[in-house]
Amino acid sequence: MSLLLVIFDLVLLAGIIGVAWRCLASTDLFRAVVLFITFGLLLALAWVRLEAPDIALAEAAIGAGITGALLLVTLERLRSIMAERHSGRPHTPPPDPSGPHALLRALHDPPPERHSFFPALIFALVVGSLLVTALWHQPQSTGLEPVVDAHMDVSGVDHPITAVLLNFRAYDTFLELAIVLIALLGAWSLGRHDLIPARPAPGPILPGTLRLLVPVAIVTGVYVLWAGSHAPGGAFQAGAILGAAGILLVLARPRQLPMAPGIPLRLGITAGVALFLLVGLYGLGAGHGFLGYADAWAYPLIILIEVAATLSIALTLVALFVAGRPAGDDA
């Protein structure tokens, strides 16, 4: 049995490394992005093998799904910008991919020059072998699992990873939500709401599928959020699933996209960080330390923070996909 598992591990790792290599060696950017999405899905399988179902959920939804959508829309934007510059007219429809070479430069990267081959290879080999040596000679340790296990009864939840994320190491999670917010502020600072250069949805299949998929995604997202207190799941996975549903909606209706109302959108985007900060300050005032909870209040506060964080993450991911701050509310 264990031999079969070893073979499975070896095949999976060979697949992951092979796909990553093809992705990095590809001259066609579209191909590279598709290979990267495949890479993310294979990684999710590896995380399941490493007994990390939470990470597998997050990798499949965020690493492969959302990142893939962001990369694909970026390629489409680059193509449209090149076409615009080429024709001198704004808002021309995206060119035929088999069009003139000048337009495709944005989506192609020629093979690298020969002279950088050996320096890069030697550098990567040295770094890689140093890492492998260090990892193979690491002393055995049980990690922090026994410590977390011993304190589970005061955490307020039954799932160790949620306990670590929202109680034991809540500071990390708070800063992480702040980083998500700052990334969006950075993207918004680059310009106003940008039209998504999506081609019109061909035929009735996309809207029809969407009508079925979005409710399922919302139910799944809420379930994953709720499950986070006692099973794999939680705010980040739920936020990613809801964000993916939002991205699908944005993609399927590029023509009649309603203008996002400025104030509620901003409130929703900052809800996670703001609520987290308020709870943290309350803990400081009540004598539990920054981001500390009273034992009896741990569960309701964690659920409250998770709901707000899910909302913020979902909205932020959709806003990052749309890119650019909403039109019509300039200072």
Residue selected from 93, 97, 99, 191 as contacting other proteins according to rule CB under 8 A = 191
Q: Per-residue x/- marks for other proteins, 117-136, CB under 8 A?
A: x-xxx-xxx-xx--xx--xx
Residue selected from 41, 161, 227, 304 as contacting other proteins according to rule CB under 8 A = 161
d(CA 71, CA 205): 23
By CB under 8 A, the residues from 309 to 328 that bind other proteins are 313, 316-317, 320-321, 323-324, 327
From the CB of 200, what's the least distance to other proteins, in Å? 17
d(CA 257, CA 39): 32
Stretch that binds other proteins, among 163-171, 262-270, 272-280, 288-296 (CB under 8 A): 163-171
By CB under 8 A, the residues from 248 to 307 that bind other proteins are none
Which of 323, 330, 61, 62 minimizes the C-alpha distance to 197?
323
d(CA 5, CA 49): 9
For the CA atoms of 99, 65, 166, 277, the dihedral, rounded to the nearest 10 degrees, stands at 30
User: Between residues 36 and 220, which has the closer beta carbon with respect to other proteins?
Assistant: 36
Helix 205-227 to helix 298-322 angle (10° resolution) is 150
From the CB of 208, what's the least distance to other proteins, in Å? 29
Q: What region does 323 belong to: left with phi over 0, alpha with psi -120 to 50, or beta?
A: left
Q: Mapping DSSP to helix (H, G, I), strand (E, B) and coil, where does residue 108 land?
A: strand
- 65, 240 in Cβ contact below 8 A? yes
Residue selected from 49, 151, 253, 288 as contacting other proteins according to rule CB under 8 A = 49
Stretch that binds other proteins, among 176-184, 207-215, 246-254, 279-287 (CB under 8 A): 176-184
Q: Does 151 bind other proteins (CB under 8 A)?
A: no
Stretch that binds other proteins, among 82-90, 210-218, 259-267, 281-289 (CB under 8 A): 82-90
